[in-house]
Amino acid sequence: MNNKKRILTGDRTTGRLHLGHFIGSLQNRVKLQYEYDTIVLLADVQALTTHFEKPELIKESIVDVAIDNLSVGLDPEKTTIALQSQIPAIAELTVFYSMLVSVNVLRHNPTIKTEAKQYGYSDLTYGFLGYPVSQAADITFCNADLVPVGEDQLPHLELSRKIVRRFNELYGKGRTCITVPEAMLSDTPRLVGLDGNSKMGKSLGNAIYLSDDEKTIADKVRNAVTDTNRIAVSDKGNPEICSVSKYHRAFNRTEYDNICEMCRNASIGCVACKNNLSEKLNNILSPIREKRRYYESNVNLVKEYIRSGNERANAIGNETIASVKESMGLVMDKI
Ligand code: TRP
């Protein structure tokens, strides 16, 4: 159809997306969609690995996450939005790839470890431990070249590359069956939580959502943890240990250096600094809110985009599976 390189990325459908997603991946997708053939997966099967007891939440989140993507500027004419559970090629590839990964490698995956701790898992399900394998299938069912992700996903990308290389070695007979994907990392460091926690996360309860209104944002920023040694406005602050400064760095780049300087010499107080940040966040989010309102009142249109995205993804996935089975010898006329 065209010879653009392909991007594949995805979001778990376990609730709405937040500023951490925006910085880590969404912004990059929006920028890159003009240059690359972009596919965004609504990862409802991966959502099950942690939320299998909440199928209702996963179902509701499908449209919410699609709207999050559309309202930050993904153009449905350029980007394919597809629902993971509707693409059988991903499930099939997951099974084939699962032979090529040892349980110990998965156990030592740092993101799996962190998430297991976060969710309080002591004994991991097979599905949760194996989700990085399924993510390799997400990425490769369409032979993606590039994957825009946040830092926490890098171990998964590394694993995907290993699996694909091994697969090609074993079944490719000298040719590349599956494209070895590359990570594209955001140029902004991971967002800390406003509570000072090391990561903004849906499950950590410290997130600013793309769908939050102006007042909610102002409230969340007002309660953010700053330099706890700074009590009076006349105390000199230390931006290095202040969560708000990290947000200025991410969302208010032009003023960042200046604000840090003013904090260090006590010429700006935390209240003014926070008000400034809330204003900047609102400037970024207000056009996003406007688009959201449009899609929220046209949910059928959103579902239509997903339906046609599934169709396109399946056309691509079925072709991949046919060639994968062919190279593995899993075809009737070769028996
Ligand atoms: N694991 C990713 C996250 O938690 C979501 C995801 C699912 C993904 N499938 C993907 C990301 C494929 C990149 C590529 O954010």
User: Does position 239 have pLDDT exceeding 90, yes or no?
Assistant: yes
pLDDT at 71 over 90: yes
Helical packing angle, 154-171 and 88-98, nearest 10°: 80
Mean pLDDT of the chain: 94
Between the CA of 96 and the centroid of ligand 1 the distance, in Å, is: 19
The encoded tokens of residue 174 equal 């000298």
Structure tokens at 211: 């769908």
As given in the structure block, the two tokens for residue 84 are: 């993971």
C-alpha count within 13 angstroms, C-beta hemisphere, residue 291:
18
- pLDDT band (50, 70, 90) for residue 186: confident
Q: What is the pLDDT of residues 201-211, one digit of tens each?
A: 776 778 899 99
Closest ligand 1 atom number to CA of residue 24 = 15
Alpha-carbon gap, residue 67 to 79, rounded angstroms: 13
Ligand 1, atom nearest to 46 Cα: 7
Position 163: which residue type? I
Residue nearest to atom 2 of ligand 1 (CA): 11
Is the pLDDT assigned to residue 107 strictly greater than 80? yes
* Mean pLDDT, residues 250-278: 95
Residues in contact with ligand 1 by the CB-under-6-Å rule are: 8-12, 41, 43, 46, 135, 138-139, 147, 149, 153
Q: Report d(CA 79, CA 7) in Å as an integer.
A: 10
DSSP string, 273-310: HHHHHHHHHHHHHHHHHHHHHHHHTTHHHHHHHHHHHH
User: Which range has the worst mean pLDDT, 59-63, 192-196, 258-262, 311-315?
Assistant: 192-196
Nearest CA to ligand 1 atom 5: 11
Q: What is the pLDDT of residue 2?
A: 65
**CA–CA gap between residue 334 and residue 325 (Å, rounded):** 11
pTM, full prediction: 0.94
Ligand 1 centroid to Cα of residue 46, in Å, is: 8
The residue nearest atom 6 of ligand 1, judged by CA position, is 10
